[in-house]
């Protein structure tokens, strides 16, 4: 069973350790429920993907986490280098997929 998480800004600030533990439980439970070996996390080098990658590594081990870089034209020039630096720091694999406009996209 996946634990319910009531997320409020106040709870996040006061209980950041507990929230990261709850997120780790959610990740581990989800991986088990779906019979997966690990997780693939879209990595932009930003804070949200960085936190998710760090919690995933702490929960599963670096060998079970893959960072996926998907740059597109609106990304900062630093996004890919930040994402690669984080992957190296966490000891995870990283792959890059080029995002291309689809037919009909402006």
Domains in the chain: boundaries: 15-96
Q: Give dist(CA 21, CA 53) in Å, integer.
A: 13
- In this predicted model, what pLDDT tens digit does every residue of 10-64 receive, in sequence order? 766 777 888 889 999 999 999 999 999 999 999 988 889 999 999 999 999 999 9
38's tokens? 């690990």
Angle at 83 between CA 77 and CA 88, to 5 degrees: 135
Q: Give dist(CA 2, CA 32) in Å, integer.
A: 11
Number of other CB atoms surrounding residue 59 within 10 Å: 20
Q: What is the pTM of this model?
A: 0.80
Q: Give dist(CA 45, CA 27) in Å, integer.
A: 20
Q: What is the mean pLDDT of residues 71-91?
A: 88
Query: 15-96, which class in CATH?
Result: alpha beta
């Amino acid at each position: 069973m996946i634990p319910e998480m009531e997320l409020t800004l106040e709870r996040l600030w006061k209980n950041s350790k507990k929230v990261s533990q709850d997120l780790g439980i959610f990740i581990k439970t989800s991986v088990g429920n779906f019979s997966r070996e690990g997780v693939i996390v879209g990595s932009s080098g930003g804070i949200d993907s960085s936190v998710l990658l760090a919690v995933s590594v702490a929960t599963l081990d670096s060998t079970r986490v893959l960072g996926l870089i998907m740059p597109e034209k609106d990304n900062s020039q630093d996004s890919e280098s930040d994402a690669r630096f984080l992957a190296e720091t966490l000891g995870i694999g990283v792959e890059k997929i080029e995002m291309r406009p689809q037919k009909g996209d402006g």
